[in-house]
Structure 1
Amino acid sequence: MNASLTAHMKTAKRNALILSAAQAVNGSMGPIAISMGAWGGAYLHPQNVALATLPVAAYSVGIALFAFPVGMITKALGRRNGFILGSLMGVIGAILAAYALGTKSFFLFGLGFACLGAASAFVQQYRFAAADHGSDHFKSKAISWVLTGGVFAAILGPQIALRTKDMLSPTPYAGAFIALAALLIVGIAILATLTPLRDHPDDKPAIPAKSRPLWTIVKQPKFIVALLCAISSYGLMTFMMTGATLAMTNHGHSQDHAVMGIQWHVLAMFAPSYFTGLLLVRFGKLAVISAGLLLLIACSATALAGVELWNFWGSLILLGLGWNFGFIGATALLGETYFESEKNKVQGLHDCILFSFVTTASLMSGAVLHLFGWTTIALILLPISLISLLSLIFLRLYENRISS
C-alpha cells in the first residue's frame, strides 16, 4: 500500500469518527422535535387540539423539501461547509421554536420545526459521507460507526428534553429548544474538524450507461411492492409515533414517561441496524420486510390491549423494530429495480412519493387522535400492514411464475 493511499484511509477513518460524533449530537434533533412538538402545538393551539401535531408534520415537510437539495448544496459547498450550513439552519429553527413558545405564535413554531426538518435532511446524509471516500471494505464499517452515533442520539435527545423543558418556566418546553440550539452549536464545532477528501485513489471513473424511461422502471411489480412496503412501514411509524406523546399524557401518564417512550422507540428504530444487513443476506429481503410488517401488527395488538404504561412503551418499541426491518428491507428491495445510471431519478421519485405520505400521516395523526382516540390509531395499522403482506406474497408468486 503506497503512502498516498495510507494517508487517504487514515483521513477517511478520522472523518467517519467525526461524523459519528456529529450524528450523536445533531441526530438528537429528531427525538427532541418528536417528543416536544405535539405538546408545544397543544400549548399554542388549545382551542383545536387536532392541530397539535401540525408542527411535527412541518418537521416532516422540511425533511422532504430538502431531501434533494442537500446533495446539490453539499456538492457546491463541499460536505463540511454544507453540513455546517445544515446545522445552522437547525440552530435557527430551535431558537425560532423557543421564541414562538414565548410569544405564543403557532405559525412561528411550525416554521421553526420546518427549519429543524431541513437540518435533519443534512444529518441523514452523514452515513453516506462517511462511506463515500473509504475503500469498499471500510464502507460498511463507516456506516456502522455513524449508526452508533444515532443510537447515542436516541438516548441524548430525550434526556436533554426531559431535563431542560421547564428551564425557561413559566414558558413550557422552550428550554428544550434552547438546549437543542446549544447542542447544535457543539455539532458545528465537531463538523468543522472534517478534512475534505477527494475520491478514493482506487476508484475508477464510472462508465456512462443508458437509462431506461422512468415509467418502465416504475411499472415493475417489484418497484410497486417495494414502494408500498416503504410507505407502510415509514408512514405507519410516523402516524403512530406522532400522536403517542399526546395519547400517553391524555391517558394519565407523565410527560417524563412519554418522553422515555420516545427514547425506547428511537433506540428500537436504529439499534438493530447493525445486524439488519446480515438478516437480509441470510433470509432475503422479502422475509425481513415480512418480519417488519408482522412486528407492526404486534405493535397494533399491544396498543389495543390497553393504555397502561407497558402498552405504550411496548407498542412503541415494536413500532421502531417494525420500521427498521420493514423500511430497510424495502429500501434494499428497491435497489433491485434500477441500474446504477438510473439511481438518482428512481430514488428521487421514490423519496418524493414516500415523504408525501409520511407528511400526510403526520398531519392525520393529531386529527385522528382528537376525533377518534388512540384505539383508532392502533387499529389503522392492521389493514395497511396486512395489505402490504399480501403484496409480498403476490410478488413471491409472480417471481416464481416468471422463473419457472
Structure 2
Amino acid sequence: MHRQVFLLATAQALFQIVSVLVMTIGGLAGSILAPSPEWATAPIAAMFLGTAVSTVPASMWMTRVGRKIGFVTGASLGTLGGLVAAGGMMTSSITLLCVGTFLAGCYQGFAQFYRFAAGEVSDDGFRPRAISLVLAGGVVAALVGPLLARWGGELLQPTYTASFLFLSVASALAVGVLLGVNVPQSVDTADERAAVRPLREIVLQPTYLVALFGAVTGYGIMILAMTATPLAMVHHQHDLAATSTGIQLHVLGMFLPSFFTGSLIARFGVLQVMLTGITLLTGHVLFSLSGTGFYSFTAALILLGVGWNFLYIGGTNLLTRTYTTAEKGKAQAANDLTIFIVGLAASLSAGVLQNTMGWQALNMWLLPWLGMAAAAILWLRISPKGVAIRV
C-alpha cells in the first residue's frame, strides 16, 4: 500500500513539474508570440482546455482499462506536448505552442486522478494522509519547476525552447514511474451496480455541492492569481529570476502543507480545514493590496498556495464521502470537469483582467467569491449532515 502511494507521489512530482513550467513561462512565452497582450495567457488557457476536454474521457476509460494504462497514456501525451510546444517556439507559432500546452493539459486530465488512486489503494484510516502525501509530491515541483523554467529560458534559442524540452523529459520520466503502479480494479457487486444513482442525484447532495464549490473556489482563485502573477511582476519591473522565485515559494505553499493536511483533517475535521483555507486566501488578497514590491507579491503567493492546499485537499476528502465504488467514475469526473472549466475561464481571463484592471483590483474582486464559499461551508457545518462529517 505505502509503495503504491510513494510511486503515485513521485508521478505527482513529475506531473507538477510540467504544470509549474507551463504556469511559470506559458504567459511569458505567449507574450512573445501573441498578436496582442490580451492573448499572452492563451498557452495556459490551452492547457486548461486540454484538461477540461480530457477529464471525463480519462475517467470513463480508466474505469474500463484500469488506472495504470490511463496514467501512462496521459504522461505520454505530456511527452509529446513538450516537443510540440518547443517546436512552436522554434517556428514562432503561437498556434503550435498552444497545441503543445493543450496536450500537456490532457496529461493533467489523467494526472488529476492520482489523488483518487491513492485513496483507492489505502484503507479508511490512511486515506486522508495518502491523498495528502500524493499531493505533497508537488514539493519537488516547487523546487525544480521554476529552476527549470529559469535555466531553460536562455539555454537554447529561441527563448524558452529548452524549458519546454525539459517538460517533455519530465513527462517521459513519469511514464517509467507509472509502469510500476498497480491500482486494483474495483469489482462491483450486483447489488452495488443496481444501486448506482443517476449523476444528478449524486451531484445534488449538499455535501457533494459544498465539496465541489470549495475545491472550485480554491482552484479557480489560485489559477487566476497564479496566471496573472508573472505578467504583473514583469509589469512592476521584477525580472525573471524574481518572478521564478515568487512562483517557487507559491508552489511550496501549495504542496508543503500536504505532509500534515491529512493529520489536520483527522484532528479538527474537514470543514474546519476548508474554512482555514478561506481565511488564508483572504490573507492573500490583503497582502496583494498592500503593495507591488517583491515581498508583497511573495507573501501573497505563499498564502495563496497554502489556502489552495487546505481547500483542495479538504474538498477532495469531503467528496470521497459522497459516492459508492460503483459511482466513483462519474462522480469524480463531474467534479474535476467542473474544476477545470473554472480553471480554463480563470486562466483565459487572467491576461485580460491584469491588463485592464491591474493586479490589486483583480485581487479585490476575489473577496465576494471567498465570502460565498465560506457561507456554503458554514451552512453545511451547522446542518445535520455537517455534524456527521466533522471527523
TM-score if structure 2 supplies the norm length? 0.88
Structure-2 change in CA distance of 1:77 and 1:251 (3 Å) = same
Matches within 5 A, 1:132-281: 132-133=120-121, 143=131, 146-169=134-157, 171-192=158-179, 194=180, 198=184, 207-208=191-192, 210-281=195-266
Q: Does 1:305 pair with 2:271?
A: no
Instruction: Indicate the structure (1 or 2) with the bigger Cα radius of gyration.
Output: 1
Q: Which amino acid aligns with 1:101?
A: M
Q: Does 1:51 pair with 2:16?
A: no
Q: Of residues 22, 28, 31 in structure 2, which corresponds to 1:42?
A: 31
Residue of structure 2 in register with 1:326 after alignment: 311
Structure-2 change in CA distance of 1:93 and 1:223 (3 Å) = same
Looking at structure 2, the residues matched to 227 and 140 of structure 1 have their Cα atoms a distance apart, in angstroms, of: 17
Q: Which amino acid aligns with 1:388?
A: A
Deviation, structure 1 residue 235: 0.8
385-394 vs 127-136, which moves further: 127-136
Q: Aligned with 2:159: secondary structure? A: coil
Q: Which amino acid aligns with 2:173?
A: V
Deviation, structure 1 residue 392: 2.8
Looking at structure 1, the residues matched to 385 and 208 of structure 2 have their Cα atoms a distance apart, in angstroms, of: 17
Looking at structure 2, the residues matched to 141 and 336 of structure 1 have their Cα atoms a distance apart, in angstroms, of: 15
Matches within 5 A, 1:81-120: 81-120=69-108
Q: Which amino acid aligns with 1:258?
A: T
Q: Does 1:23 pair with 2:12?
A: yes
Deviation, structure 1 residue 349: 2.5
Structure-2 change in CA distance of 1:395 and 1:285 (3 Å) = same
Q: Which amino acid aligns with 1:43?
A: I
Looking at structure 2, the residues matched to 383 and 355 of structure 1 have their Cα atoms a distance apart, in angstroms, of: 21
Q: Is the 1:226–1:331 Cα contact (8 Å) retained in structure 2?
A: yes
67-76 vs 82-91, which moves further: 67-76
1:2-27 deviation line (CA, Å, top 9, x unaligned): xxxxxxxxxx5544444433333333
289-298 vs 59-68, which moves further: 59-68
Q: Is the 1:78–1:196 Cα contact (8 Å) retained in structure 2?
A: no
Q: Which amino acid aligns with 1:389?
A: A
1:352-399 deviation line (CA, Å, top 9, x unaligned): 322222211111111000111111211111111112222333334444
Q: Of residues 65, 88, 91 in structure 1, which corresponds to 2:53?
A: 65
Q: Which amino acid aligns with 1:343?
A: K
Deviation, structure 1 residue 261: 1.2
Aligned residues: 387
Q: Of residues 355, 367, 381 in structure 1, which corresponds to 2:352?
A: 367
Structure-2 change in CA distance of 1:214 and 1:141 (3 Å) = closer
Structure-2 change in CA distance of 1:85 and 1:342 (3 Å) = closer
1:155-180 deviation line (CA, Å, top 9, x unaligned): 111111111111113x1111101122
Question: Percent identity of the aligned residues?
Answer: 36
Q: Is the 2:71–2:110 Cα contact (8 Å) retained in structure 1?
A: yes
Looking at structure 2, the residues matched to 185 and 260 of structure 1 have their Cα atoms a distance apart, in angstroms, of: 26
Deviation, structure 1 residue 310: 0.7
Q: Aligned with 2:365: secondary structure? A: helix
Residue of structure 1 in register with 2:280 after alignment: 295
Deviation, structure 1 residue 265: 1.1
Structure 2 unmatched ranges of 5 or more = none
Looking at structure 1, the residues matched to 66 and 387 of structure 2 have their Cα atoms a distance apart, in angstroms, of: 46
67-76 vs 312-321, which moves further: 67-76
Q: Is the 1:98–1:174 Cα contact (8 Å) retained in structure 2?
A: yes
Deviation, structure 1 residue 323: 0.8
Structure-2 change in CA distance of 1:291 and 1:131 (3 Å) = closer
Q: Is the 1:242–1:362 Cα contact (8 Å) retained in structure 2?
A: yes
Q: Does 1:386 pair with 2:371?
A: yes
Structure-2 change in CA distance of 1:195 and 1:373 (3 Å) = closer
Q: Is the 1:50–1:371 Cα contact (8 Å) retained in structure 2?
A: no
